[in-house]
Structure 1
Amino acid sequence: MSRRWCDEGSEKGRRGHLEIPGGTAHGTVEKKQTSDTTIKGHTVRASKDEPQFIVKSDNGGKAAHKAGALNKA
């Protein structure tokens, strides 16, 4: 069983993978987002109580994910 990033505290530079509809994506956390932002024209809702993690995938894409969706590599 994979350990979730949130089990250890997700942080910038941490590598991991996540399950997405098309399979598994691998990437690196760029930032812990604690306020609303926009990525690729979509509003990302985030707060200190419910942060999102900005992840840059190995294929160059960027997306926001909740800690529970991220698995440590």
Structure 2
Amino acid sequence: MAGHQEFRKGDRVTWRSHGGEAEGVVEKKITKRTEAGGRTVDASPEEPQYKVRSEKSGRSAVHKAAALHRKQGG
């Protein structure tokens, strides 16, 4: 099984949101259990999660690497 993608701060990514696709920028890699986006994020070094900011809404959300896709050609 292939390892999950790694993302860095500033990477442009897309993710599924409310039946559509959202686009934004990675703000932070989270590698430990923490509070973010109004909920507990159960992240670890082996299963990092990423705080991303939506370009459209300006709001931040936290997603697992598997939910994010690197924006192509941008």
Normalising by structure 2, report the TM-score. Answer: 0.80
**2:72 counterpart of 1:67:** no
Quick one: which of 4, 8, 13 aligns to 1:11? 8
Q: Unmatched 5+ residue regions in structure 2?
A: none
Ranges of 4+ aligned residues in structure 1 off by more than 6 Å? none
Equivalence for 1:30: 27
Hey, what's the Cα distance between the residues in 2 that align with 1:33 and 1:69?
14
Secondary structure at the counterpart of residue 28 of structure 1 = strand
Hey, what's the Cα distance between the residues in 2 that align with 1:16 and 1:41?
22
Normalising by structure 1, report the TM-score. Answer: 0.81
Hey, what's the Cα distance between the residues in 2 that align with 1:48 and 1:32?
10
What is the count of residue pairs matched by the alignment? Answer: 67
Q: Unmatched 5+ residue regions in structure 1?
A: none
- Percent identity between the two aligned chains: 45
Secondary structure at the counterpart of residue 66 of structure 2 = helix
Higher RCO (C-alpha 8 Å, min separation 6): 1
